[in-house]
Amino acid sequence: MSEPELLLDSNIRLWVVLPIVFITFFVGMIRHYVSILLQSDKRLTQEQVSDSQVLIRSRVLRENGKYIPKQSFLTRKYYFNNPEDGFFKKTKRKVVPPSPMTDPTMLTDMMKGNVTNVLPMILIGGWINMTFSGFVTTKVPFPLTLRFKPMLQQGIELLTLDASWVSSASWYFLNVFGLRSIYTLILGQDNAADQSRVMQEQMTGAAMAMPADTNKAFKTEWEALELTDHQWALEDVEEELMAKDLHFEGMFKEELQTSIF
C-alpha cells in the first residue's frame, strides 16, 4: 500500500519558502558591497613590478622576434640568456612567505573575511533555523534514497517522511549555494555574494597566500627563450610583393572611367 501524498499549505510558500529566498539573496548582495568597502588594495613592490615587466618583454620577444632583424633578436636574447651575466642567470630573488606575525595586513584581511562571510552565514542560518524550525518547504522533482535525509531534512525527525522533501534549514543552505547564477547575472563574474566561491577560496587560501616563485618563473622563461630560434618573417617580402598580381592597370582604368562620367 502506497503512502498518502503529503500536501503543503499555500501559506508555507508565502511565509517560509519565498522569505528564505529573499533573505538569502539580499544578504548576499549586502555582503558583496560590504566586501568592496572593506577591501584593501594590495600594493606591489617596485621589484615585483620590474620582474613582471621583464617576463613580459621576454615573452613578447619570443612571440614577435620574427619581425625584427636577426642581429636585434640575438642582442635581446643575449641580454636575457647570456650564460655568464644574463638577466635570468644572475638575478636571484628571495622569496619570503607571508606570515601574520610579520604582516599585520594579512591578519586584518583574515578578520575582514570572517566578518563578511562566516559571521553572516552563522547568524542568518541560526535565525532561520530558529524562526522556521520544523517546516517542510518543498520537494525535489525526483526520488532520492534515505542517505539524503540528513542533508535535505535538517531539523525534522520523521523517519517515515520521503527523502525528497526539503526542510526549511536545508532550503536555506540550498539557496546559499544555488543563487550563484543570479549573483553572476546581476553583479558580474567576480562577486563576493557567491558564498560557495568564497568558501572555495577560503579552502585554497593557504596555497593562494604563498607568493609566486620568481626564480622558477625566470628559469622557465630562460628555457623557453633558449629554444626559440630567429626566423625573420620579412625575409622574402620583396619577392612576395612582386609576385602578387595587384591589377594596378585595371584599377587606374576604373578610376578614369568614373572621373569621365
Neighbours of 93 (CB within 10 A): 16
User: Helices 46-64 and 214-226, interaxial angle, to 10°?
Assistant: 20
Q: Is 129 exposed, middle or buried (0-12, 13-18, 19+ CB in 10 A)?
A: middle
pLDDT at residue 245 is higher than 70: no
Q: Between residues 191 and 26, which one has the greater pLDDT?
A: 26
pLDDT at residue 18 is higher than 90: yes
- Residue 47: what pLDDT? 85
Element of type H or E holding 165: strand 165-167
- Which residue in this structure is represented by grid cell 593557504? 206
C-alpha cell belonging to residue 90: 644572475
For residue range 84-136, list pLDDT tens digits in order: 888 998 888 877 666 656 666 667 777 777 777 788 888 898 898 888 888 89
**If you average pLDDT over each of 55-59, 106-110, 159-163, which comes out highest?**
55-59
Q: How far apart are CA 22 and CA 169, in angstroms?
A: 14
Region 126-154 average pLDDT: 88
Percent share of the chain, pLDDT over 70:
79
- Residue 195: what pLDDT? 62
- Residue 121: what pLDDT? 83
Instruction: Answer whether 26's CB lies under 8 Å from 179's CB.
Output: no
Q: How far apart are CA 47 and CA 53, in angstroms?
A: 10
Instruction: Answer whether 115's CB lies under 8 Å from 128's CB.
Output: no
Region 145-163 average pLDDT: 85
- Residue 107: what pLDDT? 72
For residue range 165-224, list pLDDT tens digits in order: 999 989 998 998 888 888 888 888 777 766 666 556 555 544 444 456 788 889 999 999
pLDDT at residue 10 is higher than 90: no
